[in-house]
Structure formats: C-alpha cells, structure tokens
Amino acid sequence: MTDKKISMDDKSSAENVEQHLGQLEKAEVTREQLYYSQEQPFSSDELARLINEERLNKLMAQSDEFLKSLNGEIGDFDEGDINSDR
C-alpha cells in the first residue's frame, strides 16, 4: 500500500511540475506577444532624421576595404595551397 501511495505522490509531483512548466511557457508566449505588439515601424522621414549618413558612408567604405583585403588574403591562401602540391 505504501508503494502505491509513493507512486501516486510521485505522479502528482510530476503532474504539478508539468503544469507549472506549461504555465511558464504560456506566460513567456504572452510576454513575447506583448513585446512584439509594441513595435512600430519607422517612416522614411524618421529614419532619415535618425541616421547619420556621413558616418554610415564611412562605415560602409571601411567594410568594403576590409572585404577587399579579406578576399585578397583568401586568394593568396588558395594559391599557396595549389603551389604546395607541386
């Protein structure tokens, strides 16, 4: 009889944990829905006002330079592999 009671208590505990986890998941979904419902898109005028175009252009030029140098390094690396087989 005590074995039955222990297994019933275990099952009850497991059910309680499962129920609690389900409630946490529902709360998280609700929190995400609330968060995303508060997002508002920017108009093009607002974006133009917020973006520092000069700084953005400098950053883009730097990234272009970086990618060019990276491509050169990759090319040199590939050529090194070809020459090392000979």
Judge whether residue 4 has pLDDT over 90.
Answer: no
Instruction: State pTM to two decimals.
Output: 0.37
Asked if residue 50 lies in contact with residue 42, where contact means CB atoms within 8 angstroms, the answer is yes
- Residues 46-69, mean pLDDT to the nearest whole number: 92
* Residue ranges covered by each domain of the chain: 1-39, 51-86
Judge whether residue 6 has pLDDT over 70.
Answer: no
- Residues 27-50, mean pLDDT to the nearest whole number: 84
Q: Per the structure block, which two tokens stand in for 16?
A: 């309680």
**pLDDT tens-digit readout, 65-81:** 999 999 888 887 766 65
Our CA dihedral for 5, 9, 12, 18, rounded to 10 degrees, sits at: -140
